[in-house]
Structure 1
Amino acid sequence: MASTESVRTLTEPAGAAQLPAPRPAPSRPAPAQSPPPPGGGPAGALLRLTRPEQWLKNLAVVPLALLDTRSWSAGALRDTAEAVLAFTLMSAFIYVVNDLKDKDRDRRHPVKRHRPIASGQVGTALAGTLAGLLLAAVALLVAATGGIATGWPVLAYLVVNIAYTAGLKHVPLVDVFCVATGFVLRLVQGYLALGKEPSQWLELCVFAFCLLLIIGKRRREMTVGGTGHRPALAGYSVPLLDNLIGLAGVLAVISYALYLYAMAHTGAVAQATAFISAPCAIFGVARHIQIMLVQEGGGNPVHSLFRDRISVVNSLVWAALFATTVLLPHA
């Protein structure tokens, strides 16, 4: 009896090419499983509920107003610190309210299920009490530091985030614009605390750069976990997010360059130093895009900005050049 190989050879046309076996389709990586949260008892769980790792956002954005002032007095530093504290308390309040509302959805998420409320470490009553205390602390701080006249960005941030938590976070594009607006309000709060007005180009730069970070986070969520855990992701696609990343990156760089151009009054030497710092800003944007698109990172923008060694070194060089710009005589 002819072997199976012989039969197959006889039935094939002469000279037929041997087709390679199809490769298995690459499988989507499984959602990352986070380890259980660290201990620390009820106090530690309450602290984690306020997301202390996110406080760096306020420390990075609110004090930008100090770059536009030449009088770094004790009073200016105190007023800036109070503005940072107000936004830190308000953002902590928003995190608690958001986790209360999303506790059921978080329990079905491989990472968010370890959050204090979703995991049962903090009860809803205790979380509600903490939220009330945080909101009361913000109200007292705003009233003690000038009232609505200088504290309206904090109140506007509250309104935007209540609307975001109530439903806007489920609307594609609107969700990322709401989050980016919160960073512009942080910037404005820092300027109002110093009695100054921010440059419109700087506001646009902060908005565009933060939009870049947020879109990168959405991209990471989509590629790793799909669209089930965040309804707004159903309105995105990876190609759309990649194009939005490019748009936000270009807008951030151009608006920063125009902000530097508006500083022409600082004098020839200071202006030259400012423009030398521009490549650092361009490199920083390019590096983060590389992390998102090549290294498939960007899921935690705070980690990407403050733990990536290349980004940290570039930021230090940029800060040194820009500080030189501010401190040089304006002649």
Structure 2
Amino acid sequence: MDGSATAYGPLAQAVGLIKLMRPKQWIKNAFVLAPLAFSGSFRNLDAVTHAFEAMVLFCIASSATYIVNDMHDIDHDRRHPTKSRTRPLASGLISVRSATLLLLCLYALLICGWFIAPKVVLVIAAYVALNLAYTFVLKHQPVVDIFTIAIGFVLRVYAGAMALDVPVSSWMFITTLCLALYLAAVKRRQELSQNGSESRGVLKKYSVALIDRYAEMSATGALLFYSMFVMSSRPELVITVPLVLFGLFRYWFVVEALDGGESPTDALLADWPLLLTVVLWVGLCGWVLWPAGG
């Protein structure tokens, strides 16, 4: 199967290498920019540059973790009804050798990133280590698997703070954790309800009802802690709370009624009311936090 990649032309393999990095998932790395927005530093060109450098480095790191995961799961993915066709390694579009070379290039870029943003790369190193542990061990442990995914988002926010050398509110950390737990729980719920427990070993330890309770608890926590963060640190942002509440409601509607949510990125990009809500929230935050007289 590894040699079947030679059956595809150079253009197809180039597309496969890009697909292997899952660029559509880079939208998750926008969490790196949260400290830039809430610290009010987005009018400072140096701060914006540092924040986007951190986000690019996180995109590289997240792509590397996806490649490691796909290489580890290649045999399982080949037996999966969907992944056997959509994953470049499992489908034979990309060889393991090509994936390994791409992985080494991405790691080399991260090492080069040390000379640009050493504090950020230290956080990224923790993220890479966490995801290696997830790929080989932690994703098979119930509850731990969901928290591991969520901690990855917290590390993104922390990397953004390190890039700007600014403190991050404890409220922001706990809000990010709860929101990420909500998204991770919904992902597991949809995997279980759509594909059954055979699609992922850890799903045999869950039930839809149990994961629903996890998701509801996490969504409630995200809303509560975001509201407390706004009222304690940025009271002018209280007008964004209804948008957050609507977004949580809409996302659950997409999950329950439209059968989405297995991929939060796909759910966001496919549902225009949800996407519009996020755009409005970003725009409103920028407008409210823009310095007076600027």
Same fold (TM over 0.5): yes
- Mapped pair 1:260 → 2:223: no
CA distance in 2, matches of 1:309, 1:150: 33
Aligned to 2:213: 243
Aligned to 1:119: 91
- Mapped pair 1:135 → 2:107: yes
Aligned to 2:187: 217
CA distance in 1, matches of 2:84, 2:165: 43
Alignment match of 1:52 (pick from 12, 23, 28): 23
Is the CA contact 1:206–1:252 (under 8 Å) kept in the aligned structure 2? yes
* Letter aligned with residue 291 of structure 1: V
Q: Secondary structure at the match of 1:144?
A: coil
Q: Deviations over 1:106-128 (max 9, x none)?
A: 00111111211111111111111
Q: Number of aligned pairs? A: 283
Aligned to 1:104: 75
What's the RMSD between the two structures over aligned residues?
1.8
CA distance in 2, matches of 1:165, 1:316: 33
* Letter aligned with residue 267 of structure 2: S
Aligned to 1:3: none
Q: Which moved more, 1:243-252 or 1:296-305?
A: 296-305
Q: What's the CA shift for 1:311?
A: 1.1
CA distance in 2, matches of 1:109, 1:192: 40
* Letter aligned with residue 74 of structure 2: K
Note the residue ranges of structure 1 that are not aligned, 5 or more in a row.
Answer: 1-38, 265-270
Q: Secondary structure at the match of 1:104?
A: helix
Q: Which moved more, 1:300-309 or 1:108-117?
A: 300-309
Q: What's the CA shift for 1:247?
A: 0.4
Q: What's the CA shift for 1:307?
A: 2.7
Aligned to 2:241: 278
Aligned to 1:163: 133
* Match runs of 1:54-203 below 5 Å: 54-58=25-29, 60-71=30-41, 72-114=43-85, 115-141=87-113, 143-147=114-118, 149-203=119-173
CA distance in 2, matches of 1:118, 1:313: 35
* Letter aligned with residue 270 of structure 2: R
Higher helix share: 2
Q: Secondary structure at the match of 2:33?
A: helix
Aligned to 2:258: 295
CA distance in 2, matches of 1:242, 1:299: 14
So what's the TM-score if we normalise by structure 1? 0.82
Q: What's the CA shift for 1:188?
A: 0.6
Is the CA contact 1:245–1:289 (under 8 Å) kept in the aligned structure 2? no
CA distance in 2, matches of 1:138, 1:292: 35
